[in-house]
């Protein structure tokens, strides 16, 4: 049978029999793969090093006749080791992988693989705020799922005004002008950059970033709860 080679990120690991494990991996070209990794139970296998979480590995696999293929070999390409240097970051890393696993269909596009890589990159960088990473990640899941809010025009179809203040309507995913609204041009600009896919490290450079994260977190989290499979 033909062996295929691809970069891959581990999404989940479960047991299979005495010594084997079933891995679910995210790849750029083959979507999600479910592979049997023989003899990797716990830490004794030579394969084990290449199937670390928070890593990108090059894997060689054989597609099975059924749903489960076989993992032949792995080679670690990049391990984001600083993620596990802080407990809170490790916890967030597991949470993001879980969200990604649940949010993606069987054949996710390559952009989800890039998202996982960017998330690891951000988690690995201690200078990037955890709340920002969480928010940014949710924005990307919404964007990739086709649920970007309307950040260009208001409910009446007018272009969003720099001097105006807005409220957000979840029914239409659109802002509406309201003198007592909670969102200013700065919030909308921040959301635009976030939903355009700027990485967390770049968003950190925006003046007042922490406050903007706090102010927009509820909006993004409500949209995520509505549109993203959890």
Residues near other proteins, by CB under 8 A: 12-15, 41-44, 53, 84-85, 87-88, 90-91, 94-95
- Decide whether 41 or 189 has the Cβ nearer to other proteins: 41
- Decide whether 14 or 207 has the Cβ nearer to other proteins: 14
Determine the angle formed by the axes of helices 87-103 and 130-144, rounding to 10 degrees.
Answer: 10
**In angstroms, what is the minimal distance from the CB of 43 to other proteins?**
5
- Decide whether 12 or 114 has the Cβ nearer to other proteins: 12
**In angstroms, what is the minimal distance from the CB of 180 to other proteins?**
33
**In angstroms, what is the minimal distance from the CB of 191 to other proteins?**
25
User: Rounded CA gap, 180 and 185, in Å?
Assistant: 14
**In angstroms, what is the minimal distance from the CB of 44 to other proteins?**
7
Phi, psi of 33 (to 5 degrees): -120, 140
- Decide whether 63 or 86 has the Cβ nearer to other proteins: 86
**In angstroms, what is the minimal distance from the CB of 19 to other proteins?**
10
User: Rounded CA gap, 52 and 23, in Å?
Assistant: 11
Q: Which long-range contacts (CB under 8 A, 24 or more apart) does 13-16 make?
A: 13/51, 15/41
User: Rounded CA gap, 161 and 152, in Å?
Assistant: 9
- Decide whether 29 or 95 has the Cβ nearer to other proteins: 95
**In angstroms, what is the minimal distance from the CB of 222 to other proteins?**
20
User: Rounded CA gap, 111 and 27, in Å?
Assistant: 10
71: left (phi over 0), alpha (psi -120 to 50) or beta: beta
Q: Any bridge partners for residue 25, and if so which? A: 10, 33
- Decide whether 86 or 143 has the Cβ nearer to other proteins: 86
């Amino acid at each position: 049978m033909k062996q295929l080679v691809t970069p891959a990120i581990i999404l989940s690991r479960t047991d299979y029999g005495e010594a084997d494990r079933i891995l679910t991996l995210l790849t750029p070209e083959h979507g999600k793969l479910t592979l049997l990794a023989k003899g990797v139970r716990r830490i004794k296998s030579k394969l084990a090093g290449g199937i670390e979480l928070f890593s990108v590995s090059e894997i060689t696999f054989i597609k099975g006749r059924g749903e489960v293929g076989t993992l032949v070999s792995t080679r670690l390409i990049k391990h984001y080791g600083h993620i596990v240097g802080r407990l809170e970051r490790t916890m967030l890393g597991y949470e993001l992988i879980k969200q990604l696993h649940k949010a993606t269909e069987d054949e996710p596009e390559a952009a989800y693989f890039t998202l996982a890589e960017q998330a690891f990159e951000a988690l690995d960088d201690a200078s990037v705020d955890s709340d920002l990473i969480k928010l940014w990640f949710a924005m990307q899941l919404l964007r990739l799922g086709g649920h970007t809010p309307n950040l260009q025009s208001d409910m009446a179809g007018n272009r969003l005004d720099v001097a105006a203040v807005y409220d957000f309507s979840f029914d239409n995913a659109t802002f509406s002008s309201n003198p007592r609204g909670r969102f200013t041009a700065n919030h909308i600009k921040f959301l635009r950059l976030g939903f355009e896919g700027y990485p967390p490290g770049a968003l950190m450079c925006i003046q007042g970033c922490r406050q903007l994260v706090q102010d927009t977190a509820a909006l993004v989290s409500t949209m995520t709860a509505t549109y993203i499979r959890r």
